[in-house]
Amino acid sequence: MIKIPLKKPLRTESFMFFLAGLFFAGIISTALQGTFQNYLNDIFGIGAQARGALEFPRELPGLLITFIISSILFIGEINILSISVVIAGFGLLGLGFFSHTYETMIIFMMIWSLGTHLHMTIIEPVALTYAHKGNRGFVLGRMNSVRSIGIIAGTFFIWLFMGKLHVQYRTLYLGAFITSIIGGISYALQKRKTIKAPVLKFKFIFRKKYTRFYVLAALFGVRKQLFLVFGPWLLIKMYHREAADLALLLFIAAVIGVFFKPYLGTLIDRFGERKILMADAVLIIILSSVYAVSPLIFSPSIALPVLSACFITDELLFSLRTARTTYISKNLKKESDLTPTLAMGISIEHVISMTAPLGAGFLWAQYGYYWVFIIAAFVAVFSGITASGIKEHGRLSEQHRSPEGKN
């Protein structure tokens, strides 16, 4: 077991409120992630090509996140974090009660997406204020672990209400909206004296020094969308999985993640971002290959559990995106660059993730599903090559030589 010295703020009341907010945010995220594919299939009956096209408006707030953050960062990162979950919850409320047409559904989907991308951008910089140089990966791993507990709760509610009680989507989304208000209050209760002062002036940052980080973000955008959209779509369209079935897979991934994700964080601290991101690329190549060939070579009784295992594994691997955050946090020209640089990375990521599903949906419809995952494998190859050029910093063991809590 790798032991990592923890800084005292990890034990403060403020950090507990941070984790509580993260728990509720995990529930809200699962309310849509675990049901949206089925929601689109059941309510609007769209096909693979239309599903791919829908990613453009869904990811548009992610593309614009740099500009959105620049206009509101003056209110402070804690306030943005608190507001973001409420915005996401309101989007879910609209999907449940006010999306009577395809066009209104898109509007509320984009509102949910705005809240989600605000949260995605701000959560890691806030989490890192509770860390020091030697345990950044661990703190982000702990963050992902608590989020997994929220996902467990969220998937339980989906299983109970939709799988057993057969309630409508609107009832589930109403519950998620109420949960978002509780999550926003939890984030707001963090005591600012234990948080580093927020950056009050945002600068549009695109530094040459951060080029590798931007490239990794772009490649992750392709990888994320191809798996996030077409992994579950394969299970729904070819194997007729329902919302409760996908919720069960998310539940299994979350249970494993409670214990596994903190360990992934310690591996980042122990072995460095270069090795971890290269290993992630290799695993994605394997997963892509299995996704592509399983329906072709296995009977449904075998292919379904194999693909379900791929879905669970990929959910766990998504947490390795924190390796990019720890990498850039160690290579900043100045500390105030962190939040705007992460925002820029997410915007670049979404330039790609908005367009990739369009082409992938076309390939699925015209030439077969497997081309989507063949492309994902090639993207993983380029990700591994890019990650191989990362220059390593001091190992965790070296950082432990300094007194606990020192930067």
Could you read off the pLDDT of 162-172 as tens digits, one per residue? 777 788 888 88
**All structural domains of the chain:** 8-393 (1.20.1250.20)
Let me know the angle formed at the C-alpha of 251 by 249 and 255, rounded to the nearest 5 degrees: 120
Can you give the pLDDT at residue 257? 84
Residue 150 has pLDDT above 60, yes or no: yes
Q: Is residue 39's pLDDT more than 50?
A: yes
Residue 405, pLDDT score: 36
- In the chain, the amino acid numbered 371 is W
pLDDT of residue 180: 94
> What backbone phi and psi angles, to 5 degrees, belong to 202?
-95, 135
Q: Do residues 60 and 110 touch, judged by C-beta distance below 8 A?
A: yes
* Torsion sign over Cα 366, 221, 144, 200: negative
Q: pLDDT tens, 94-149?
A: 998 998 899 999 999 999 999 998 998 888 888 888 877 667 777 888 888 888 88
Distance CA 314, CA 69 (A): 29
- Whether residue 395 contacts residue 272, with contact meaning beta carbons closer than 8 Å, is answered with yes
Q: In the 3-class helix/strand/coil scheme, how is 360-392 assigned residue by residue?
A: HHHHHHHHCCHHHHHHHHHHHHHHHHHHCCCCC
Q: Are 161 and 171 in contact (CB under 8 A)?
A: yes
Residue 49 CB-density burial (10 A; 0-12 exposed, 13-18 middle, 19+ buried) = middle
Distance between the two ends of the chain, CA-based, in angstroms? 23
pLDDT of residue 206: 67
Closest-CA residue to 89 (of 183, 187, 23, 186): 183
Q: What is the mean pLDDT of the chain?
A: 81
pLDDT in the model for residue 11:
53
CB 343 within 8 A of CB 73: no
DSSP H stretches of helix in 272-337: 273-297, 300-317, 322-329
Tokens at residue 389, please? 């050029």
pTM of the model: 0.70
pLDDT higher than threshold 90 for residue 7: no
CB contact set of 42 (below 8 Å; sequence gap of 6+)? 169
Angle, CA 82 vertex, CA 141 and CA 109 arms, to 5°: 90
pLDDT tens digit sequence for 335-344: 777 777 888 8
pLDDT at 203: 54
Greater confidence (395 vs 23) lies with: 23
What is the pLDDT, as a whole number, of residue 75? 82
Tokens at residue 100, please?
A: 């009577």
More confident residue, 11 or 279: 279
Evaluate whether 308 touches 235 at the Cβ level (below 8 Å). Answer: yes
